[in-house]
């Protein structure tokens, strides 16, 4: 009986170590994937910012009566969000192929 218990304890210790190693590998992969997506989103936002500057002034600026025209931040945010959403999947596929 003592030999069987020692064998079970040894198997339990081995399985526990393997489980811990799998969790670490999974956590590491999740972190890597998260950082990859985050970096791609930052890059896409920068591209969207540059494209926003190429839009016509009628779309980019809000005219004020007695003040200088100012940037339409709501439209800018909508433009950037749409650009990132529409290009993220394609950028991820390109990143995976690299």
pLDDT tens per residue, range 34-90: 999 999 999 999 999 999 999 988 888 887 777 778 888 999 999 999 999 999 999
Say if CB 83 and CB 44 are below 8 A apart: yes
User: In angstroms, rounded to a whole number, what is the distance separating the alpha carbons of residues 95 and 76?
Assistant: 27
pLDDT at 98: 72
Beta bridge partner(s), residue 62: 70
pLDDT at 97: 80
98: tokens are 């690299």
**Which pTM value belongs to this model?**
0.69
User: In angstroms, rounded to a whole number, what is the distance separating the alpha carbons of residues 17 and 25?
Assistant: 12
- Dump the DSSP string for 41-95: HHHHHHHHHHHHHHS-HHHHEE--SSS--EE-HHHHHHHHHHHHHHHHHHHHHHH
Q: Which tens digits make up the pLDDT trace of 15-36?
A: 999 999 999 999 999 999 999 9
User: In angstroms, rounded to a whole number, what is the distance separating the alpha carbons of residues 77 and 51?
Assistant: 12
């Amino acid at each position: 009986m003592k030999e069987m218990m020692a064998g079970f304890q040894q198997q339990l210790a081995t399985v526990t170590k393997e489980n811990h190693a799998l969790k670490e590998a999974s956590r590491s992969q999740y972190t890597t994937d998260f950082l990859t997506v985050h970096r791609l989103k930052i890059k896409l936002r920068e591209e969207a910012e540059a494209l926003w500057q190429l839009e016509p002034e009628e779309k980019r600026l809000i005219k004020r009566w007695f003040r200088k025209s100012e940037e339409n931040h709501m439209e800018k945010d909508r433009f950037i969000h749409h650009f990132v959403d529409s290009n993220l999947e394609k950028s991820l596929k390109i990143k995976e192929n690299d």
